[in-house]
Amino acid sequence: MAGYVCTIAGGKGGVGKTTTAVNVGAGLQELGYDVAVVDADLGMANLGSMLAVEPEKSVHEILAGDAAVSEALTDAPGGLTVIAGEQSLDAFADADPAKLRKVIKTLRAAYDVVIIDTGAGLSHEVAVPLGLADGIVLVTTPDEVAVGDTVKTAQLADRIDGNVIGGLITRVTRHTDVADINERFEFPLLAVIPDDPQATHEEPLVRNEPDSPAADAYLRLTDALEGVFFKGDTAAADLDTIVDDAWFLDEAEAAADDEDADEESSGGVFGLFN
């Protein structure tokens, strides 16, 4: 059976598309699936630098007709296989986004999941990966412009008959009005990723910072996507199931929360209610 192709997209740069692609890919890899991640952000490729890999060949060279897919496959942290890109303007100019179709066809025959990391905006370069996907996941921060651009990306996907599975909000804090943002979406909200300044180690977080709130959120997202990809589940989530209040507690609040939990389990402060 051919692999599932998931495109990670969003209307604005810097919202966490690559981070999402890497962590969902690593999470699925841990669940036993063979995963390939392709950097299709041809103008601002950063997958290779994020994972600290130096490929022998790039996606740009494939799309320019100067390399085969097999030559660009690179082992990366988290057990992933990636096809990374270049950042030079010459490489960008020579790459033909239309050739991505053949690349993805080759990969989906060899991998259980192919994740395409896209650029920002509403260009042809972005439209091609949207059209190639079995399912599209949209990423935004709470920023007003980012949310609006993500809604536009969903509208573009709809015009080319793309299948938007749902979206996620990154860099969420206790002050973020998640419900308000969710009301603006015409697609399910799949996940909320907390702003997690302590999770600063190398990607993927789900491998290198597994106890961090951000990693927890990405693993919950991965579980939901596994159901959509392979079990025929419908992407639908309740805010109560995708947001954990404990993610937004500081150390003092977390300690107090743990103490309250211990008191409840023991029947009260002095155990008088057993």
Cα distance between residue 172 and residue 203, in whole Å: 19
Please tell me whether residues 236 and 255 are part of one structural domain: no
Domains: count for the chain? 2
The predicted pLDDT at position 48 comes to: 92
Q: Which residues contact 256 (CB under 8 A, 6 or more apart)?
A: none
The predicted pLDDT at position 273 comes to: 25
Please tell me whether residues 181 and 271 are part of one structural domain: no
Range of the domain at 27: 4-243
- pLDDT digit string, tens, across residues 83-94: 998 877 777 788
Please tell me whether residues 147 and 267 are part of one structural domain: no
| 41, 82, 224, 225, 233 from 230: Cα distances, Å | 26, 21, 10, 8, 8
Q: What is the pTM of this model?
A: 0.88
Instruction: For the chain, give the percent of residues with pLDDT over 70.
Output: 88
pLDDT band at 2 (very low <50, low <70, confident <90, very high): confident
pLDDT band at 253 (very low <50, low <70, confident <90, very high): low
Please tell me whether residues 231 and 273 are part of one structural domain: no
Please tell me whether residues 128 and 262 are part of one structural domain: no
- pLDDT digit string, tens, across residues 165-223: 999 999 999 999 999 999 999 999 999 999 987 666 678 999 989 999 999 999 999 99
